[in-house]
Chain A
């Protein structure tokens, strides 16, 4: 399936962090949730998602721990850190400002 949208810089990070606000998840769980929630519209390569995930771990926005999955397999679980929660809020504010500005231009009705 071709990528429908090229994601804006930092958006994938925000999506992952948002996903983890509901609790720890493994990588596959995060990927599924993003795709299911966006009805497959936001389709990124899983590889890109994992890379982003690991980078978030490097920056201490998420913590990882090995555990058992629902079907009793060894899986790496990710959890949001306090710093990650703070980062999500910053990222959301930034995206909101960005999209607001974007839509204000795109939806303008007069060229006053």
Chain B
């Protein structure tokens, strides 16, 4: 082979040299013969000719040199011309088959767009370091892994208490620099007289230097300002907040803003690129020393409130693992100073990267958990789209068999032919990528607002990475889907194809084509079953009996301040007494309203939100053991609370205003835990450590769900409100009068306490909304992708059938000529459309069962093998396939046999 290659090269080279030799030879011969005609002797003539010519050897080398250049140039030119021709040919044939091309572009664009959109979101979650942070790779987090004493529940989270943070940094010393901050929380603030919720993070003074945030104006906190109990309250605002609330005015520095009633002075504005190190945006930073805990001194030593996230930058030569080990020792030692109840000697500090999504946290939010699964789902949509495109191109290849055969017979090389097919695929893929970017932009914006509404997005919806994602995906899939059919087309015998192709009435049966329809049917089933399961979970969560009523129940609380609009200590009587009197007065008035059924006052929120945490002691003064790692809940509420919220009585009775002496009502979990197997009624319970008298249990209520609906229960006790000051009003409206009652409640409270802020009024259904969000999110997102898959699969079935009908005109004509009725013909087409889908449904159900565990953790109250979902999806898909075949089927019945036969 090698010698043959060499030989060929020599031959090719020599052809330039031979031409040069021939040309020189011809010249000399001609000259010699001319000179001889003039009478010179042959020898003289040759000498003259050679002298006139010059050095022949040198000339030969020079000319051959130029000749090679010319030849190379010509070859290049020919290749370019062939390329241009092929591109033009491809573009023409794409334009010629307009319907088919449009279909391919739409299918590819949907698949690619869905992927581009999810990739854009995943990119932010998993790959993009927070912007505006210097050397983000060198910045680490410390996570805390704790084991609950009951249930052996392991929890990993990024939060520690201030006391624990201090102990850790003392222990690690100069091996690392540390900072801590709270995850941004929406806090009621007043800036320039405008009240709104602003996302605020409490940070240590070391925070800004450690992350390397740059300032557009002003400065960060000083050590003095950050010290616990500091007198100066200062704030750093983000650039966007500075722009939107201060109009980017340099005079903003030194201005006062109010956060949760406290006044802060603005001292700095960060650069636009910095919005904190979490995914969630921060609008404003204040020193952790100004934490809204009642007393800074108390917060400093308080270990239970773990709300600080630790950041560490190791000194050169120090490893994060060693630092974490030191931190673990410090943490455990600190824990020993506490009651035995709250120390955890198995707690461990774990190092993790700055990007939270890559950290060791096992208590991931549903939003973060759903994103990787969404990518999987988007890939499935893409595969379905590809299967469709491949199918369409296969059919197209069949129609072009004759054209290809003619061109092969005319001597076009397979290589060249393949290149044209490749170009066609590329043209289609690029067009699809263009549409996909538009879809992807729209989709990414949608996903962003749905999955991560509070995230600081470093870029707008237009993300150049979208193009980077869309173009390669479109090219790879488009080319893969295009080349396979082209290769299949070559398999046919040229002569045979010339004779028969595109004239044959019947379509050759193709295992590949049927397989592709089966595949997309199966994958659609998987996605739709996923969507169905999420929707069922959502409904299951929504219909959980939370132990109280949600309909018609609403509540209100008041942010109270005096006329100078100064924040008042919420524990002082100056705060509580007017509030208490006002709420009582408003309650009296509301009870007279025709819209209101009952009104109750509570010193501790609603059944869903807040409660006081209080240890319970049994009649022997023994502390009742906590269960599920939760403190017992203590509700101090008026007797009307039970009827207003619609809590259910399990045993005994609710307490009333007429009860003399200390009484209490407990929940079923408490009754079961404290007095297992005994009748709790009449038992004695000390509620809170300060209680002097034991309270008699008069009733047991059914458990209620607090906060997250699927969290385990805690013990709960209810005590009469007595002389305790109420803070919250709970109102039960007459059925269907909820809105009017809420307006009245707002109005009456404002009338009774005119110098307070307008009260915060919310219905229980609204209050439940955030808890439903993860489930709603899963249902919506999987629903969208399921519908997308169904859409793509339907388009596919429809176009394949339409194409097949148009190819089978002759066969159908013959059938009609032989007496087949319209119904027979229609059925023929529809059945052909449906049966591969039926097979696909079977395969899909098996696939869904097998992959069910991937989402099992995100489901609630439904198993993967849910017969309703499976049955519904199977029916839906088969119906859709039948609908997809119906249009082409109808067209098939309209085939005119005479024309169909004459056309050939």
Contact = CB atoms under 8 A, between A and B. Distances in A.
Interface of A: 1, 26-28, 31-32, 45-48, 50-51, 54-55, 57-58, 66, 69, 71, 73-76
A28 B54 contact: no
A26 B30 CA distance: 11
A48 B54 CA distance: 8
B66 A28 contact: no
A31 B27 contact: yes
B63 A54 contact: yes
Given A45-B52, A46-B52, A28 B26 contact: yes
Contact of B59 (A26, A31, A47, A76): A47
A73 B66 contact: no
B26 A57 contact: no
A31 B34 CA distance: 13
B23 A76 contact: yes
18 contacts: A28-B26, A28-B30, A28-B31, A46-B27, A47-B54, A47-B62, A50-B24, A50-B27, A51-B59, A54-B66, A55-B66, A57-B66, A71-B30, A71-B33, A73-B30, A74-B26, A75-B23, A76-B22
Contact of B22 (A32, A51, A74): A74
A72 B844 CA distance: 78
B78 to A, nearest CB: 14
A27 B53 contact: no
Contact of A54 (B31, B51, B54, B67): B67
A81 to B, nearest CB: 13
B53 A58 contact: no
Interface string B38-75: 00000000000001111110110011001101100100
Contacts of B31: 28
B29 interface: yes
Contacts of A73: 26, 29-30
A32 B49 CA distance: 12
A46 B54 contact: yes
- 6 closest Cβ pairs, A-B complex: A47-B54, A45-B54, A47-B59, A54-B66, A46-B53, A28-B30
B232 interface: no
B545 interface: no
A51 B70 contact: no
B19 interface: yes
Interface string B1-42: 000000000000000000100111011011101100000000
Contacts of A66: 19
B66 A51 contact: yes
Contacts of A76: 19, 22-23, 26
A51 B23 CA distance: 12
Interface of B: 19, 22-24, 26-27, 29-31, 33-34, 51-56, 58-59, 62-63, 66-67, 69-70, 73
Given A45-B54, A50-B59, A58 B69 contact: yes
A48 B55 CA distance: 10
Given A28-B26, A50-B23, A76-B19, A45 B53 contact: yes
Nearest to A26: B26
A91 to B, nearest CB: 20
Given A47-B53, A51-B62, 7 more contacts: A32-B34, A46-B53, A47-B54, A54-B63, A58-B70, A69-B30, A76-B22
A63 B357 CA distance: 68
Contacts of A31: 27
Contacts of A55: 66
Interface majority SS on B: helix, strand, loop or mixed?
helix
A60 B58 CA distance: 24
Nearest to A73: B26
Contacts of B63: 50-51, 54
A55 B73 CA distance: 13
B31 to A, nearest CB: 7
* Interface-central residue, A27, A57, A58, by most chain B CB under 10 Å: A58
B62 A27 contact: no
Nearest to B58: A47
Most chain B beta carbons < 10 A, residue from A1, A28, A31, A45: A28
B70 A57 contact: yes
B246 to A, nearest CB: 68
A47 B54 CA distance: 6
B27 A69 contact: no
A27 B23 contact: yes
A32 B73 CA distance: 30
A73 B27 CA distance: 11
A76 B24 CA distance: 10
A54 B27 CA distance: 15
Nearest to B48: A1
A32 to B, nearest CB: 8
B65 to A, nearest CB: 9
A69 B52 CA distance: 21
A55 B63 CA distance: 9
A69 B763 CA distance: 105
Contacts of A45: 52-54
A58 B73 contact: yes
A32 B26 CA distance: 13
A36 B311 CA distance: 94
Contacts of B30: 28, 69, 71, 73
Contacts of B26: 26-28, 69, 73-76
B895 to A, nearest CB: 56
A64 to B, nearest CB: 8
The winner among B19, B23, B31 for most chain A CB atoms within 10 A is: B23
B23 to A, nearest CB: 5
A61 B791 CA distance: 60
Contacts of A26: 26
Contacts of B55: 47
Nearest to B68: A58
Contacts of A69: 26, 30
Contacts of B53: 45-47
Nearest to B22: A74
Contacts of A51: 59, 62-63, 66
B72 to A, nearest CB: 10
A47 B53 CA distance: 5
Given A45-B54, A73-B29, A54 B70 contact: yes
Contacts of A75: 23, 26
A58 B23 contact: no
B66 A58 contact: yes
Contacts of B54: 45-48
A28 B28 CA distance: 8
Contacts of A32: 34
A28 B35 CA distance: 13
Contacts of A48: 54
B69 to A, nearest CB: 5
A64 B370 CA distance: 70
Nearest to B23: A76
Candidate in A26, A46, A58 with the most chain B CB atoms within 10 angstroms: A46
Nearest to A48: B54
Contacts of A57: 66, 70
B20 to A, nearest CB: 9
B25 to A, nearest CB: 9
A60 to B, nearest CB: 8
A55 B51 CA distance: 22
A45 B22 CA distance: 18
A46 B22 CA distance: 15
A103 B52 CA distance: 31
A58 B30 CA distance: 25
A7 to B, nearest CB: 14
Contacts of B70: 54, 57-58
Contacts of A1: 51-52
A74 B29 CA distance: 12
